[in-house]
Each structure stands twice: as C-alpha cells, then as structure tokens.
Chain A
Amino acid sequence: MLQRWLSFWKFLPSPQRNSGALSGTIGFLANSLTLIHLPGPNPLIAQFGWVDSSRKTLGLCVSGCRSLSSLAELPEMHQMMRQTCRDYADRELGPIAGKLDKEHLFPAQQVRELGAMGVMAVEVPEALGGAGMDYLAYSLAVEEISRGCGSTGCVVSVNNSLYIGPILKFGTQKQKEQWITPFTTGEKVGCFALSEPGNGSDAGAASTLARQEGEEWVLNGTKAWITNSWDASATVIFATTDKSLKHKGISAFLVPMPHPGLSLGKKEDKLGIRATSTANLILEDCKIPLGNMLGSRGSGFKIAMQTLDSGRIGIASQALGIAQAALDCAADYAHKRTAFGAPIGKLQAVQFKLADMAVAVESARLLTWKAAMLKDAKKPFTKEAAMAKLAASEAATFCGHQSIQVLGGMGYVTDMPAERHYRDARITEIYEGTSEIQRLVIAGQLLKEYAS
C-alpha cells in the first residue's frame, strides 16, 4: 500500500506548498508524505473515489497524516526545544509546584525566566520580540512546562494563545508593537475576557456593552472566570457594539490593566491550577481610545471563535502535560511500592491501569500534534483541535484519577503530587470550550464533510 502511495508522489508535479514560512515542519512532513492541496482531478482522487472537493483536501490530510502517526521522531529542532523545556520544568518548576499550589502563588520569577527563553511568545515573529517558532513547538513547550507545573502551563498558554494570538492575527502593526512586544519577555502577561456571569458556552449572548462617545469607547459590564486577571497588564475583551446584530454585533477591544473604570472581583478559590488568579473583570464606564478596537467592528465573535480554535491546542497540550505527570508519578510508584511480596507493578490490575493511561496520553498527544501541524500548514484544523482538546482533557482527568488509585492512600495526601494532578486536570475539560461544546464542534465539522 505504501509503495503505491510513494509511486504516486513521484508521478505528481512538485508540491504546491501553501505556506513558505515553515522550516522544520514541512521539511519533516516531506520526509514522510507531503501534505499538498491538489487542484482538479488527479490519479489519486480517481483511485480512491473521493468526489467532494473539501473531502479531497481532508482525505489527503487524513492519509498524509496517517503516515504521521507512524512518525518515529520529531524534527531535531523541536526535540531540542522540547528537551530544553523539559529540563527547565524538571529543575525549576517541579520542586516548587507543590508550594505554588498550596500557597496560591503566581510564579512571577519563573514566568520572567520563561519569557527570557522565548516561551511566553513562541509563535510571535522575532521582529516583535518572540521566538518565531511554529505551533507544534508551542504545543511541545506548553506540554513540558505543564508537566512540571499545571498552573504555570496555564499562564503560558493563556498568554500565548488567548492574549497574543488574536492580536497577532487581527491587530494592526501599531497594535502589535504596543500590545505584543512588552508581553514577550515575561515581565507582563495578558488575559482574555469573553465569559460573563450570564453566559459561558453561550458566547454570542454577550451582555457587556460598548458605546462610542466622541473619540472613545465606553465599556460597561462584567466578565467572569478570567484567568490571569490579578496578574495581567492588559486584556482582550469582548463587548456588544450593536445589540440588534446579535453575535455579529460583538467587537473586540484592548484594555490596559490597571485602568480607570476597570476593577477586579475577588480571586476565586479554585479546586486546581491554584497558582493562577481567576476573577471577575468589572467595567464601569471604562473609557478607551478608538484605536483600541481589535479587528473591525462586529468581528468580535469571529475573533473569539478563531482564537479559541487555536487556544484549544494549547489547552490540549496543558492537559497532556498534566496527564503525563500523573502517569509518571503512578509508574514510578508502581516500581517502588511493594505489596504481596513484589513491586505492585507486577500485578495485572496495576499494569492494566498504567497501560490504559499510557494509551490515553499517547493517542491524545498524536491528535494534538496533528492539529498543531495542520495549523502550521495553514490547513483547516477546527475539527482536529476540538478532538485534541476533548481527548487530552479526558485523558488528563482519567490519568489523574487512576494515578491516585495506583498510589492508594499515598495518592490522597499532599505528600505526593497525584492529588494535585487530579485537581489541576479537572479544569481542562471545562475552560476554552467545555467537552460538550467540543463534541458539538466535532459533530458539526463531521456532518459538513458528509453533506452531499
């Protein structure tokens, strides 16, 4: 089967690459099977009988990526980057993660160090102060950082995907310089304010209002569950500019923090990721210049949805890191703890748990990598990103749960990190799109593919 694929690739003219910006990723893909968008009828399509044009690309994506599932290793640069982040997580985050969790401390020093390494702005071009790497590199970085400390991974993810992400995609050059560059160093972090007390999943029903008064926008309303709120220096906030247009009347704004008219609610006392601050953002006649609108008027909903699409890959990576940490903890314990005269790793009951955990993590990881690679290749990735987030967050809660089970009584106490992984994992099924919403997104995309 593979031979036939290979002979077809040789037959085809040189692949049209949709993006010139990729370095390692496309080169790496070329080593397996190149993802190319073939225009018009061609022998491959005829051979496999795909007729629908959107399915053409998707079919090629799927088949091209099927070979990715057999990938032996990542490109060298990504491996090096992953190792660097892993070393940092093991040496600097692992030892303090328990303390950060117990004392609800924001890891300011570590965030600055990560900023110096370029991890707080992985996708941002070097000209703006970022690391200039691709989304796969970002996904690997977040996974490794989250493995050390789930909360720090959350801070990294929110800053990269939710705050910098939309500005990078929809901002003007001036906005990028003003609102991205200072946030690449780790000195400042940003946040993303979409949810409100009255709507979470129902994002189109934003009741925060923005009205124009002369040369300013005046914002009024409340945003809820905003991660990084107490530690952020700026926020991307969504407000309704034209109520009659419903979700097409929502716009995005950039607001510095602190700012007159913007106040913070009390810090929520959370089950997990306790080193991050989560609070309400209260806007009372908060005035910002007209130039602070992000994107065009009424495009806020679109900006939010596209941002969350990419953000999902970041959260999937965070969930993977937490799941992996839980698995590492359980597997290590299985070697050391003896019962019935042997290490408990010899017992099938424990072995089956570890195997199930490993399969859950690895399959979620491959989904996450695929989603990241599709995004880097500028291909549609909405469905895969939703699948990745769903799989990874469910893997994280599963691994967290089973890890405590493997550790038994030790898993229930704070002496071992298993209970922290269990608590940190839970939020990944909720924020940036609940598991239920992910299922709706996946089903929506799937049904579109089969529509005749």
Chain B
Amino acid sequence: MSPASVFVCLSLTLLSDYPVIRVKPDHSGVVTDGVKHSMNPFCEIAVEEAVKLKEKKFIKEVVAVSCGPTQVTETIRTALAMGCDRGIHVEVSGKDYEAMGPLQIAKIFAALAKKEEASLVILGKQAIDDDCNQTGQMTAALLDWPQGTFASEVTIDGEKVKVVREIDGGLETIKISMPAVLTADLRLNTPRYATLPNIMKAKKKKIANMKPADLGVDMVSRVEVLRVDEPPTRLAGVKVETVDDLVAKLKANGTI
C-alpha cells in the first residue's frame, strides 16, 4: 500500500538576516510588526523533500499545513508553488498567536494528521526564530508514531522509511514504520525555486481554512514568558603577556 498523503507542516518565521530585531520595551517579547516574515528555511527543505517523494511516485498527495494569522497563507501558497497539492490554514491570531508554542502547534498537527489520515508528517527540524526543536518530536509523541528527526536522507522502502539522522557523533541510520513523523535537517536537499508556471497553478490550488476549536484543540499555554532580554553587549577583552598573568587574573575574578 503506497502512502496516500504526506503532510508538510510549515512555520512562518522572522527573516533571519533582517539587520535589527528589537526586544519590546516591556520585555515581553520581540517586535514583530513591520519585520519581514518568510517560510522557515528548514520547512522549505521539508517541502522540497515531500515534493521529491511525490515525483518519485512514493506518495500520492502533499498537503501543506500551517498555523497562524492570515499572513501564513502566503507561506502556504509558496509551498503550493513548489509542488504541494493543497493547503490547510489553521487560523490562530491575536493573543492566541502570541502565546502559541510548540505544544499547541503539535496538538493541531496531530489532530489534523489523524483527521486526514496522513501517512507521513514532515516538518523542519526547528524554527529559526525560537530554535525550539520540539514541534516534530511532540507531534510524534501525541500521535504515538515513530519519529525520524534531523533527517539528512530519507528513503521509502515498502512499508518502512529509512532515515539517516545527523547526530552529534556522526550519522545514525534507522528504519521506522509508517505512519511516521520526520523532521528535515539542513543537508537533506536544496529547495527548488518555484517556476513561474507553478506559481500560476498555485493560484488555483485550494487552501482550506479552519480554527483550532474545529479540531478540538485548546490553545491555552502552559508556559508563561517572564521576560525577554537582549544578549549582554560584548565587553572588551583584556590582553595578558604570560600564562602566569592569565592564571592570576582568572583566579582573581573567581573563575578558577
């Protein structure tokens, strides 16, 4: 039985090379108004992998999913232009969006994956704005599905998926059965540029709209952000002449 549909779950993030990200004056978070947003780079890699699997005829349908305010539909359209078949936009806005964290997102993705009977859920390994690296793992746990995280190579072998994972010690190869959750790492592939004809076709593809309540997910956050601060400004260093001086200085300021 070849897998029917694959869900690619996308995240909309602050653009990483935007020169100035500022902390809000009340230290409750980071200023997001007027800052350019785009698809998370790891999610681009996830979309590319899903589209590649479809081109190799391992899967029939790729669905792009994302949670957030209306801005998020642009991200879904980009995924459609890269080759996904349809999109689902789970609308979360305002206070709910600010409080939304990996657990809430994972609950939504899990509920959707179950509802749509997905065989594979592919995500980027982490979002570059919060670097949580939790959503994929939580989704797998909620669904009680096997997970192949930090994937640098994915091969579908009948009913199983062979995943080569990038771990601290090197590369680990695992075989997991489907349905499964995968998270994409940097070296999995190089995302394609959407072609102009595909951008035209993306306009006609459907993006379904729903709310977390429709999926029976409660968006209440169990995490309260107490304070957000900028990293301390880097202080000038001190040059020393000899190793003895270095040891003396380190002893003096209590480091050793």
Contacts and interface: CB of A to CB of B under 8 A. Distances in A.
Interface in A62-90: 76-77, 79-81, 83-84, 87-88
A142 interface: no
Interface string B66-80: 000000001001100
Interface stretch (B50-58, B131-139, B158-166, B189-197): B189-197
Interface stretch (B88-96, B199-207, B225-233): B199-207
A117 B195 CA distance: 4
B81 interface: yes
A228 B202 CA distance: 33
Given A76-B203, A80-B202, A122 B196 contact: yes
Contact of A119 (B78, B196, B200, B203): B196
A416 B80 CA distance: 38
A353 B200 CA distance: 39
B195 A118 contact: yes
B172 to A, nearest CB: 31
Contacts of B196: 81, 84, 117-119, 122, 131, 133, 137, 141
A23 B197 CA distance: 13
Interface residues of B, number: 13
Contacts of B74: 76, 79-80
A212 B203 CA distance: 50
Nearest to A131: B196
A44 interface: no
A152 to B, nearest CB: 14
Contact of A126 (B81, B197, B202, B203): B197
Nearest to A116: B195
Contacts of B81: 80, 84
A113 B194 CA distance: 11
Given A76-B203, A77-B203, A80-B202, A118 B78 contact: no
A107 interface: no
B20 to A, nearest CB: 10
B200 A77 contact: yes
Contacts, number: 50
A132 interface: yes
A84 B200 contact: no
A119 B199 CA distance: 12
Contacts of A131: 195-197, 200
Contacts of A81: 196, 199
B197 A77 contact: no
A132 B77 contact: no
A80 B77 contact: yes
A122 B199 CA distance: 12
A80 B194 contact: yes
A133 B195 CA distance: 12
Interface string B161-203: 0000000000000000000000000000000011111011011
Most chain B CB within a 10 A radius of its CB, from A24, A116, A118, A119: A118
Contacts of B202: 77, 80
A87 B193 contact: yes
A76 B205 CA distance: 14
Interface in A17-32: 23-24
A118 B200 CA distance: 11
A132 B194 contact: no
A14 B77 CA distance: 32
Contact of B200 (A88, A117, A133): A133
B43 to A, nearest CB: 15
Interface of B: 74, 77-78, 81, 193-197, 199-200, 202-203
25 contacts: A23-B200, A76-B74, A76-B77, A77-B200, A80-B74, A80-B77, A80-B194, A80-B202, A81-B199, A83-B78, A113-B193, A116-B195, A117-B194, A117-B195, A117-B196, A118-B196, A118-B197, A119-B196, A126-B197, A131-B197, A131-B200, A133-B196, A133-B200, A137-B196, A141-B196
Interface of A: 23-24, 76-77, 79-81, 83-84, 87-88, 113, 116-119, 122, 126, 131-133, 137, 141
Given A76-B74, A126-B197, 14 more contacts: A23-B200, A76-B77, A76-B203, A77-B200, A79-B74, A80-B77, A80-B81, A81-B199, A117-B194, A117-B195, A118-B195, A119-B196, A131-B197, A131-B200
